[in-house]
Chains A and B, each alone.
Chain A
């Protein structure tokens, strides 16, 4: 179980794992600092993601990566979100878009399955960027102890397909926003 975070984090670390697109990184970073009103520090993850690689499934275990990300932060109040382009899974599920510790410090999001190409559709970089933004803010929201929200426009709405991600916005609904303020 994640331990309770008592005060507002001073920094959100944005850690790149295998992530090649600089414009995306810049956009995501500015969105995080804007939404959470906390400074974002950009860094490259110091570990090799291959430690999480499952050769049978040809995917990366996101729980292993989360544990590695946690080691990257010294200050117990800080939060860290990993950004990656590898295909993530947790053993019991076929895949995940991302994972987060509820009310914890670490989260991870991948754009592997957010790309249109994955579904055999023509590329749309702009759409992928907005999906990634929503996924990152969603997983970060979990670290602020937010659970899934029934409001279909809210970024905390649960989504298990890109169609569902496209339906929601990248923002919190008033209820979720209020909960973050109280944290």
Chain B
């Protein structure tokens, strides 16, 4: 399809902006028209159908959000791009939630504008050229692990659906175990960048110098031990999404370096002199109070505002108790299938225990508890005794006898407890594989 087959309507009350953008898009060959106010815009939209509307968020007499709603009423398929002043980015984010495709801030970087419109056109082309494909694109890819019927989960899915279609930076906040990485993976799976990688970096796991080399890569001989050139995560994320987990743990120096990359989309490998251009989207996650870190001076304000454009909060499990039965059932099915055991239910007493627990480790803790129960249970129904000890307060740990078996059992219990009943982690600590650990847990009950 040629550009002239696409219609663009520019709605702005400033003549200079209208003329400049019209001339810009005409040179790209698009069929371009302008409207100076709401009535003009709605009139034009009623006679002709447009593919893209560039909409100034600040119009006299009406809010850009309101106008966007009216346009969507006329034509729900229209791609709306908001033009906003830097000061009203918040409103633009609100517009995204209402279904805008994306937004640009004035003055607009020409490169951003052309990339954005190209992305919109690509999406329109796919829609126009193949209705079949359109169904697939519109179909929201779900994760089996993000289970729930609570309003909180529905809200999160809605936010993921909205934000995944844009290119804005997302900050995911929530306690550990609430599924922040899962949210990042869903954003990726539902975005136009899904054919490129999601590259996770655990920023809390590495000291400053190692994190820098992990992110930026290095040239041969950049430092002692750098025997080969190595590409960093920034390069690997090209085209895709860079997922910075535990972003609050990044040192001030690395924050400065990263900020520069996020702003220029260019960087150099450690010890290198050649600038490398990259195009990736950034999704961050944290369980820390970044605002407090800012006050304490360990988190930069400019970096904070750069990464916190669109925020998604993953609620702790205790705040969405209603989801516990569904989640528990989901994990029962998952692990019963995995170890080929026929278990189809959770007894109401066991469910009672699950509902009463306050889940400091959140969904991950629940998943670990169910996995453990599936391994130890003797029947086809999970009973309170199958659940980890700390949930059944009435049951106290057995004193270890002197036999080797008793010592082993006590030690396994101890390690399992330390690992929060995460079997993979415990097996690793014990230096045995998961299956062996399963068997031992079964043997000792």
User: A: which residues have CB within 8 A of B?
Assistant: 57, 63, 89-96, 100-102, 119, 121, 142, 147-148, 158, 160-161, 163
Contact = CB atoms under 8 A, between A and B. Distances in A.
Contacts of A95: 110
A92 B111 contact: no
A5 B29 CA distance: 19
Nearest to A103: B26
Contact of B27 (A93, A102, A161): A102
B20 A93 contact: yes
8 contacts: A63-B20, A91-B17, A92-B16, A93-B107, A94-B108, A147-B27, A148-B27, A160-B110
Contacts of B109: 93-94
Nearest to B26: A102
A91 B110 contact: no
Contact of A92 (B21, B27, B275): B21
B277 interface: yes
B114 interface: yes
Contact of A102 (B20, B23, B110, B277): B23
Nearest to B106: A92
Contacts of B24: 93
A121 B277 CA distance: 14
Interface of B is mostly: helix
Interface centre among B23, B24, B29 (most CB of A within 10 A): B23
Contacts of B27: 100, 102, 142, 147-148, 158
Contacts of A148: 27-29
A160 B114 contact: yes
Contacts of A147: 3, 26-29
A92 B20 contact: yes
B28 A93 contact: no
B206 interface: no
B113 interface: yes
B85 to A, nearest CB: 11
A15 B167 CA distance: 42
A101 B20 CA distance: 11
Interface in B81-136: 83, 106-111, 113-114
A158 B29 CA distance: 11
A160 B3 CA distance: 18
Contacts of B29: 147-148
A161 B111 contact: yes
A93 B83 CA distance: 11
Contacts of A89: 107
A33 B277 CA distance: 36
A72 to B, nearest CB: 21
Nearest to B114: A160
Given A92-B17, A121-B275, A147-B29, 19 more contacts: A57-B107, A63-B20, A90-B16, A91-B20, A92-B16, A92-B20, A92-B83, A92-B108, A93-B20, A93-B110, A94-B109, A95-B110, A96-B110, A101-B23, A142-B27, A147-B27, A148-B27, A158-B28, A161-B111
B108 A93 contact: yes
A93 B113 contact: yes
A152 B134 CA distance: 29
Contact of A94 (B17, B23, B110): B110
